[in-house]
Structure 1
Amino acid sequence: MSIKESELILNPNGSIYHLNLRPENISNSIILVGDQDRVEKVSRYFDSIEFKTQKREFKTHTGYYKDKRISVVSTGIGPDNIDIVLNELDALVNIDFKTRHIKDKLTSLNIIRIGTSGSLQKDIPVDAFVISTHGLDLNGMLHAYNTNGIGNAEIENAFIEQTNWCEDKAKPLIIKGSSLLEKKLESDKTHKGLTATAGGFYGPQGRVLRLGLQDSDLNAKIDAFNFNGTRITNFEMETSAIFGLSKLMGHEALSLNAIIANRASGTFSKNPAKTIDELIKYTLDKIVE
């Protein structure tokens, strides 16, 4: 059965609705960045750029870095945007746009997020690089899908117990990132840990302006969480959604974050732009190694 027009929405030029991309416009190696202005900060290191497009916050550059074809796509902020980007990237490689049928042979993408976040642990300083071995999903978006088989019940149950998690909130999911990409991207320059993904920047990450929190001690509980030596290293808004959807669709995904703030020590990077640029160069070189 073909996929209905209301479900797979295409633009008049045959590109997919939000990303404004056709299948030939992307590589199988994809870097995701949140900020659309960061796309150029990655692609300026390319030897050549063959394609550019932008629609809303979704900007894409595809080109070559040391003979490796790479696409850089901006996602905007939050798990709701990741839902759009991951589904549309998957559709570009695994659905025939002419017949609207899922292809018999599926393609697995290599998806690497380059982001920024704040460290929750004093021993992971500002300007460090963190590889997310797991994504801790606190926002609930993934529960719209059949998530059987992608979680880690033992760690999830420990987190629920140690934080006295409120039953009115979405059940936390913990999804492992790609072991293949982890081995490719790790080095003595990287820290590793579990990355928590919130559904918002203020209350969901424990920030208080005018509104009170459901659990004012949650951040302290998250900081203190430990499961057989696994700690929560940093807090952001995309990683678990990328890991979860990639796992469900059969893609390899990993997340690297430049630590620009340390919430445990209250410090902030003196030159965050330099740290982000160094992470970009590090990632590109690791991809082509």
Structure 2
Amino acid sequence: MTDDEAPHETAGDGGADPDGAAGGDSEDPNDDVQYHVKVGPGDVADAVLLPGDPERVDKVTALWDDYEAVAHHREYRTATGTYGDAPISVTSTGIGSPSAAIAVEELARVGVDTFIRVGSCGAIQPGMEVGDLVITTGAVRQEGTSDEYVREDYPAAADGEVVSALVAAAERLGYDYHTGVTMSADSFYAGQGRPGFEGFEAAGSDELVAELREANVKNIEMEASAILTIANVYGLRAGAVCSVYANRVTGEFRTEGESRAAEAASLAVKLLARMDEVKREAGADRWHAGLSL
């Protein structure tokens, strides 16, 4: 076991139960400095962008007015700064819903109330080009992490304010975008209808993309549904914006539009800060179209 993996001991753990019940030292998820992401209260803004790849953190912060690196532990890199005078943070989550869920859990514990996934995806509808943005309104929960929080028919819905801010940001920036339902998978290969090693095909994988397309699902990725579900369970705001890397209709693949998603999400945080200010001034609980930005 490495130092990284050793249990985080806290005062008062007390060791083994005298009656022999399971106990012992364990990481305390309620420590001020969080066990995995290594941030504490005051280290991050109320709104955090969640890219998967730790290398994307540098690409995100390059768009901001200023920033400071806060923490880096395992796949979790965090920086905090400002974008258009709005406080903003970014934390990478690694690949997949389990690690994304850890980030949401621990960031929520230090006061974060708004999460925006910033990622890449495969588009499955005609007319969606590589480099376009996809703004998620809801997600198909084809990942197992959110099932461990709530029953399987609970919806993974994006927060309306976050969706509105992302749409407004894409419009202001002049970026091509699409809105709609996303499917989040636990596998990049078999779970997304791709062949595995030596051509392995999971049962039903040859029909998966066609079925999703018929249901008007827009894109496939690996984290959004867990982030949305967990945020909803905790009464927090969340959304997702992804750049299209793969066009599953034409077979085209290019790593294009990454900075557009990051810029749209950063501007959305600025717009959400303004929305919150307008709500306070109007005495409204929710921002709506009748309240001007």
Query: What TM-score comes out, normalization by structure 2 length?
Result: 0.76
- CA offset at residue 287 of structure 1? 2.5
Identity of aligned residues (%): 29
Which residue in the other structure is 1:280 paired with?
A: 262
- The amino acid that maps onto 1:208 is P
Which residue in the other structure is 2:166 paired with?
A: 185
Which residue in the other structure is 1:62 paired with?
A: 80
The reply on whether 1:219 has 2:239 as its aligned counterpart is no
Cα deviation digits, residues 205-225 of structure 1 (max 9, x gap): 111133231113222212212
Does structure 2 retain, via aligned residues, the 8 Å contact 1:136–1:172? no
- The amino acid that maps onto 2:212 is I
Which residue in the other structure is 1:259 paired with?
A: 244
- CA offset at residue 173 of structure 1? 5.3
- CA offset at residue 89 of structure 1? 1.1
Structure 2 gaps, min length 5: 1-11, 14-24, 272-293
Counterpart pick for 1:244 among 218, 229, 242: 229
Larger Rg: 2
- CA offset at residue 48 of structure 1? 2.1
> For residues 69 and 43 of structure 2, what CA distance do their matches in structure 1 show?
7
Equivalent residues in 2 for 1:1-289, closer than 5 Å: 6=26, 8-9=28-29, 14-93=32-111, 109-147=113-151, 171=152, 174-187=155-168, 188=171, 189-209=176-196, 210=198, 211-215=200-204, 216-225=206-215, 231-269=216-254, 272-273=255-256, 275-289=257-271
Does structure 1 retain, via aligned residues, the 8 Å contact 2:156–2:229? yes
Does structure 2 retain, via aligned residues, the 8 Å contact 1:126–1:261? yes
- CA offset at residue 7 of structure 1? 6.1
Structure 1 gaps, min length 5: 94-107, 148-170, 226-230
- CA offset at residue 172 of structure 1? 6.3
> For residues 237 and 116 of structure 1, what CA distance do their matches in structure 2 show?
9
- CA offset at residue 10 of structure 1? 6.8
- The amino acid that maps onto 1:34 is G
> For residues 197 and 92 of structure 1, what CA distance do their matches in structure 2 show?
26
Which residue in the other structure is 1:150 paired with?
A: none
How many matched pairs?
Answer: 240
The runs of at least 4 aligned residues of structure 1 exceeding 6 Å deviation read none
Three-state SS of the structure 2 residue aligned to 1:81 is helix
Does structure 1 retain, via aligned residues, the 8 Å contact 2:27–2:35? no
Indicate the RMSD between aligned Cα atoms, in angstroms: 2.1
Does structure 1 retain, via aligned residues, the 8 Å contact 2:88–2:269? no
> For residues 211 and 123 of structure 2, what CA distance do their matches in structure 1 show?
15
